[in-house]
């Protein structure tokens, strides 16, 4: 039973190509059903995120299941700038195992060490395992594989620095806000401008429970559009001072050529100075906020260079953790592969012993039929001799097969045993 993964990711295709391969949860189950109905795969799990689509399969023997999986990928994407095969990669057997373990650990993510991928891996597995089909799409092999991958991902995050520290500007903004306020639930947010980076930062803050977002922009239409996306309300730029007085967090990202938030405006909003912390995130270039604003009492000002420096420092620490994380992945993959290899070894050992025992009995009965003069005690001694000879002869092959399963040579030894002892013949 071949274990394979077919995939496309940020490493092999740009976003305009990757988005063509995205499967919804329902679409993923349809694809797995097609593979099952064709007898191409015994088990399957389809992982689909904004940065990757990967189809993990236990292929049925004697079927060209991989070709069908490739056609499903091609049909999903439709016409592409180049042939689908130039974007799609394939990993087999132990490489497929390592691929999933690296994905679940964040080693293969666009943002090194990002944590969201582990939840996405879990959701893909649970969807396949819980699908209303019998047997489940995620059967014994892929269930063991995905559970092992999630365990490895947990070890990497707990035992290394790979996932420590925010690694994007929006996540850094949230991390800094937590340091200033503690819990963010109920904090008010004011957005200046309608830039995409500001929207991402506010969306990250919204996941922490901030309250209604207020958007101020020179263009009322763009302010309303962004406020609608963020579940907030739009105001005129002329009302900025009033809105500033109610804010705990300010995110600024306008295209103005000069500062839009000045010391004068802050002092007008807070004549006695802010009574509570005011966290200002200036991610505009050129800067939206006068540097002197950061000198005001209770004001915490960070610009894009400050945030990027924190990101770079955190990414540097994450990169230093790669060797340790790869070591955990290798250890987990070796443990899984030992288990997986034993799946084929055990039936071969059983077949070998059953065939040898059948031959022993047939030959013993034939010989004893010609030795009718032996008394029961002698007949029992002859039978015991044949049984002990059989066990001694099979001891070394059995040990070699079990050891081969443990050290990664199981597949080769299984194939050799089947051929040498003709275990696949009708007479086996």
**Tokens in use for 158?**
């707990």
50 is catalytic: yes
Within 305-408, strands assigned E span none
Continuous H helices in 136-209: 140-159, 169-181, 196-206
Helices 65-77 & 25-37, crossing angle to 10 degrees? 150
What's the length of the chain?
Answer: 428
Side by side, which strands form the sheet with 189-192?
233-235, 213-216, 189-192, 249-252, 278-282, 299-303
**Tokens in use for 193?**
């401008």
**Tokens in use for 396?**
């070394």
What CA–CA distance (Å, rounded) separates 346 from 348?
Answer: 5
**Contact status, residue 47 vs residue 124, Cβ threshold 8 Å:** yes
What CA–CA distance (Å, rounded) separates 379 from 390?
Answer: 17
Question: DSSP class of residue 60?
Answer: P
CA angle 112, 114, 116 (to 5 degrees): 150
What CA–CA distance (Å, rounded) separates 423 from 428?
Answer: 5
Q: How far is CA 265 from CA 238, 254, 273, in A?
A: 11, 16, 11
> Residue 82 CB: number of other CB atoms within 10 A?
9
**Tokens in use for 182?**
């503690």
Rg of the chain's alpha carbons, rounded to an integer? 32
- Catalytic residue selected from 30, 38, 50, 367: 50
Number of H helices, E strands in the chain: 15, 10
Question: DSSP class of residue 179?
Answer: H
Residue 318 neighbours by CB under 8 Å, 6+ apart? 112, 113, 161, 162, 163, 164, 165, 167
Q: How far is CA 244 from CA 197, 223, 407, in A?
A: 20, 16, 65
> Residue 137 CB: number of other CB atoms within 10 A?
28
Torsion of CA 206, 212, 218, 224, to 10 degrees: 90
**Tokens in use for 197?**
């980076």
Which residues are catalytic, by number? Answer: 50
């Amino acid at each position: 039973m071949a274990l394979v993964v077919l995939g496309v990711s940020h490493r092999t295709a740009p976003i305009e190509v990757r988005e063509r391969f995205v499967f919804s949860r329902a679409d993923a189950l349809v694809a797995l059903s097609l593979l099952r109905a064709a007898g191409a795969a015994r088990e399957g799990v389809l992982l689909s995120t904004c940065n990757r689509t990967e189809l993990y399969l236990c292929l049925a023997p004697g079927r060209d299941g991989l070709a069908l999986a490739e056609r499903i990928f091609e049909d999903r994407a439709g016409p592409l700038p180049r042939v689908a095969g130039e974007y799609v990669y394939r990993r087999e057997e132990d490489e497929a195992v390592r691929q999933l373990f690296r994905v679940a650990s964040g080693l293969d993510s666009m943002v090194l060490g990002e944590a969201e991928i582990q939840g996405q891996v879990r959701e893909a597995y649970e969807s396949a395992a819980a699908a209303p089909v019998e047997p489940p799409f995620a059967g014994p092999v892929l269930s063991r594989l995905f559970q092992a991958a999630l365990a490895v991902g947990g070890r990497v995050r707990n035992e290394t620095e790979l996932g420590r520290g925010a690694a994007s500007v929006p996540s850094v903004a949230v991390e800094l806000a937590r340091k200033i306020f503690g819990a963010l639930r109920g904090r008010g947010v004011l957005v200046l401008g309608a830039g995409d980076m500001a929207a991402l930062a506010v969306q990250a803050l919204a996941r922490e429970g901030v309250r209604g977002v207020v958007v101020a922009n020179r263009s009322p239409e763009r302010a309303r559009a962004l406020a609608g996306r963020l579940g907030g309300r739009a105001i005129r730029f002329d009302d900025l001072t009033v809105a500033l007085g109610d804010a705990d967090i300010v995110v600024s990202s306008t295209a103005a050529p000069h500062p839009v938030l000045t010391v004068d405006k802050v002092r007008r909003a807070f004549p006695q100075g802010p009574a509570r912390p005011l966290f200002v995130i200036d991610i505009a270039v050129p800067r939206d906020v006068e540097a002197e604003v950061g000198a005001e009492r209770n004001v915490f000002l960070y610009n894009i260079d400050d945030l990027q420096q924190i990101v770079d420092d955190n990414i540097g620490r994450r990169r230093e953790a790669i060797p340790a994380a790869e070591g955990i992945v290798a250890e987990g993959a070796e443990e899984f592969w030992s288990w997986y290899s034993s799946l084929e070894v055990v039936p071969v050992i059983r077949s070998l012993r059953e065939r040898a025992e059948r031959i022993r009995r047939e030959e013993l009965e034939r010989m004893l039929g010609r030795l009718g003069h032996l008394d029961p005690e002698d007949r029992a001694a002859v039978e015991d001799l044949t049984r002990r000879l059989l066990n001694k002869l099979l001891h070394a092959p059995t040990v070699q097969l079990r050891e081969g399963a443990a050290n990664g040579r199981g597949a080769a030894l299984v194939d050799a045993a089947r051929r040498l002892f003709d275990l696949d013949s009708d007479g086996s």
